[in-house]
Amino acid sequence: MIDPNENVLLKALPEATKQRLFPQLKIIKLPLGKVIYEVGQNLENVYFPIDSIVSLLNVLEDGASAEISVVGNEGVVGIAVFMGGESTINRAIVQSAGRAYKLSASVLFDEFNDNQILRELLLRYTQALMAQMAQTAICNRHHSIDQQLCRWLLLSLDRLASNNLTMTQELIANMLGVRREGVTEAAGKLQKLGVINYKRGQITVTNRQKLETLCCECYAVVKIETDRLETY
C-alpha cells in the first residue's frame, strides 16, 4: 500500500500537520511523458512524487526546451505556489512513470503561511532545487553530452528504487536540449564501456561506480547540497 511517508518532505512533517494534510492527499498515476503543467499556467495543485520523476524544463518561443531540474520522492512539484507566483515559468513533464500525491495548491499555500515548520522545510527544499538548477545551467554550457548524460542518469537513479529507467533517446535529447544523434552516440559509448544496457527504451545501469567516475563534478555538487538540506 502506498504511504505518503514515502515522500521525504511529507515524512518530515510534524504529526499534527500530517493529520491535517494527509486526508486531503490524492494518489494519482503519472504516465511517462505526461505534461503536468505548461508555462504560464495557474497552479491548482502541487504534486509529491512517490516513485515517479518529474522534469522541469525551460521552453523557448520556437518550442525548443531543456531540463533545468528533476523532482522525485525528495520533493514537490509546484513551488511557485508558495514562492509568490500563481503561475509557473516552466513546463513540468513526467520523466519516469509512477505515482504521486496530489494536493490542492490553496491548501498548501494556507498551511505554508500558518505553519513555520512546514515553511522552513519547503524553503530548504527550494534552496536545494535552485542549487540543482544553477549547476545544470553550468553543466549544459561547459560539459560534453557524454558528461551531461552521466549526470542525468545519476540524478534519475537517486530518485528510483531500481537501476532501470524507461526512457527513449528522443525524450532524453529533449530533456538535455541536444540532438538525438548526440544522445545515441553518448549512450553507445556507455554501453560499450559496460556501464549501461540500452534496448527498446529501457536503460539499465549495470555499473554505477564507473558511471560516477565518468561524470563531471556537477552531480556531486548537487548531491552534496541536496543531502545537506534534506537532513530534516
Q: What would the pLDDT profile of 154-191 be if each residue is shown by its tens digit? A: 999 999 888 988 888 888 888 888 888 999 899 999 99
Q: CATH no. for residue 210?
A: 1.10.10.10
Q: pLDDT tens for residues 60-101?
A: 888 778 889 999 999 999 999 998 777 788 999 999 999 999
Q: CATH no. for residue 26?
A: 2.60.120.10
Q: What is the distance between the alpha carbons of residues 219 and 232, in angstroms, rounded to a whole number?
A: 21
- Percentage of the chain exceeding pLDDT 90: 69
Contact 37, 16 (CB under 8 A): no
Note down the domain range covering 187.
Answer: 144-215
Burial 183-220 (b: 16+ CB within 10 A, else e): beebbeebeeeebbebeeeebebeeeebbbebbbebbe
- The 3-state DSSP class for residue 54 equals strand
Query: What pLDDT does residue 175 have?
Result: 80
Residue 56: pLDDT over 70 = yes
Q: Is residue 222, in this structure, part of any structural domain at all?
A: no
Whether 113 and 150 share a structural domain: no
Q: Is residue 228, in this structure, part of any structural domain at all?
A: no
- Percentage of the chain exceeding pLDDT 70: 97
45-49 vs 35-37, strand pairing mode: unpaired
Residue 12: pLDDT over 60 = yes
- Mean pLDDT estimate for the chain: 91
